[in-house]
Amino acid sequence: EQEEALSLKDLPAVTPDGLKIELWGNIAHPDEASAVLSSGGSGIGLFRTEFLFMNRNTPPSEDEQFEAYRKVLDEMKPHPVVIRTLDAGGDKEIPYLNIPKEDNPFLGYRAIRIGLTEEQLLITQLKALIRSSICGNLYIMFPMISSLWEIRRAKTLIQKAASQLDDKGMRYGKLKVGIMIEIPSAAIMAEELAKEVDFFSIGTNDLTQYTLAVDRGNSKVSQWYDHLHPAVLKLIAMTSKAAKTQKIELGICGEMAGDPFALPVLLGLGFDELSMSPPAIPKIKRLVRKFQAERAKQVAQMALSMKDADEVRQYLNEVMAKP
């Protein structure tokens, strides 16, 4: 298995009937970028930046952040690197951010909500990100978008950050701006949101949690948590349709991207990119290289027509037993 994975490393993820898909890695620290490349990944689909803000008493400076972003972009060049702005709150605690003790932290003050409240915090991060764009192929991604106004406001802050860099005569390059689709309202409004951004990346961990009203970290209710639930699949399909109609890039960076059983559905829905934990890449690549894209389309439609998660799971078990 290990040897096969190694020979697979330099091959593209392409189906026997010629559909190519990018397999990217999720990382939470710059040191992990090399594991993406050695696993055969062709980009980073989610660079979580929380580590920069944790285990300290004040936020990291612009220069400190720039150094971390530059390192990853440089190492991955010319491959894309999707860097997500701070996704604090919810289950990710950062003491100095004045996140109140909340009854429902997952529904509370988190992610982009913090960035749009503490604007200077987000502007500093955006300045570091924009500066890093000269070092590689940068995609900036905003987490927990629920409404159009948040994107517009976040884009205004990008402009503000860029003009502050202009004032200092600092150089930067091209970059793409996108959002996570991880709240049902964003999936439902995807067509409108797609007009504002260059790419979508579906965060199925939170999308599943919010669609099914199941805490993603509570093992007592894990039986109710299932990214193969048809309601989740329908929201993913809506998001995909909107991305296709508006001709923007479509990816997924939740755990579902590395689930072999979900693969035919995701292939069939026309994803450009699947981003997963680096060790999952070889297995998914091997499956992509065996699965007919035409068949995947039929499987996706079939799964979407089913009535509950168990039915979908059983069907996909059969599909994968005899692809």
Does residue 112 contact residue 158 with C-beta atoms inside 8 Å? no
In whole angstroms, give the CA distance from residue 133 to residue 144: 23
Which C-beta is closer to ligand PEP: that of 15 or that of 211?
211
Q: To the nearest whole angstrom, how small is the minimum distance from the Cβ of residue 205 to Mg ion?
A: 5
Q: To the nearest whole angstrom, how small is the minimum distance from the Cβ of residue 25 to Mg ion?
A: 17
Contacted entry of Mg ion, ligand PEP, none for residue 254, CB cut-off 5 to 8 Å set by kind: ligand PEP
In the residue annotation, 135 being an active-site residue is answered as no
For residue 217, the one-letter residue type is G
CA max distance for the chain: 61
Exposed e or buried b per residue across 45-65, where buried means at least 16 C-beta atoms within 10 angstroms of its C-beta = bbbbbeebbeeeeebbebeeb
Point out which residues bind ligand PEP (CB under 6 A): 46, 48, 87, 182, 203-206, 253-254
- The reply to whether 310 sits in an annotated binding site is no
Contacted entry of ligand PEP, Mg ion, none for residue 181, CB cut-off 5 to 8 Å set by kind: none
Is position 251 an interface residue for Mg ion (rule: CB under 5 A)?
A: no
> Which of 253, 262, 269, 276 is labelled catalytic?
253
Contacted entry of Mg ion, ligand PEP, none for residue 164, CB cut-off 5 to 8 Å set by kind: none
Stretch that binds Mg ion, among 91-99, 198-206, 274-282, 287-295 (CB under 5 A): 198-206
Q: What is the dihedral of CA 105, 106, 107, 109, to 10 degrees?
A: 60
Contacted entry of Mg ion, ligand PEP, none for residue 41, CB cut-off 5 to 8 Å set by kind: none
Q: To the nearest whole angstrom, how small is the minimum distance from the Cβ of residue 89 to Mg ion?
A: 11
Q: To the nearest whole angstrom, how small is the minimum distance from the Cβ of residue 102 to ligand PEP?
A: 17
**Residue among 62, 150, 206, 226 that touches Mg ion (CB under 5 A):** 206
Stretch that binds Mg ion, among 91-99, 205-213, 228-236, 239-247 (CB under 5 A): 205-213
CB atoms within 10 A of CB 80: 22
Q: To the nearest whole angstrom, how small is the minimum distance from the Cβ of residue 203 to Mg ion?
A: 4
Does residue 293 contact residue 17 with C-beta atoms inside 8 Å? yes
- The reply to whether 216 sits in an annotated binding site is yes
Is position 90 an interface residue for Mg ion (rule: CB under 5 A)?
A: no
Contacted entry of ligand PEP, Mg ion, none for residue 76, CB cut-off 5 to 8 Å set by kind: none
Q: What is the dihedral of CA 264, 269, 273, 279, to 10 degrees?
A: -20
What residues are paired with 84 via a beta bridge?
A: 48, 141
Is position 203 an interface residue for Mg ion (rule: CB under 5 A)?
A: yes
Does residue 265 contact residue 274 with C-beta atoms inside 8 Å? no
Which C-beta is closer to ligand PEP: that of 44 or that of 319?
44
Q: Say how many residues touch Mg ion, by CB under 5 A.
A: 3
Provide the annotated active-site residues.
253
Q: Binding site residues for phosphoenolpyruvate, as ranges? A: 48, 84, 205-206, 216
Query: What residue ranges bind Mg ion (CB under 5 A)?
Result: 182, 203, 206
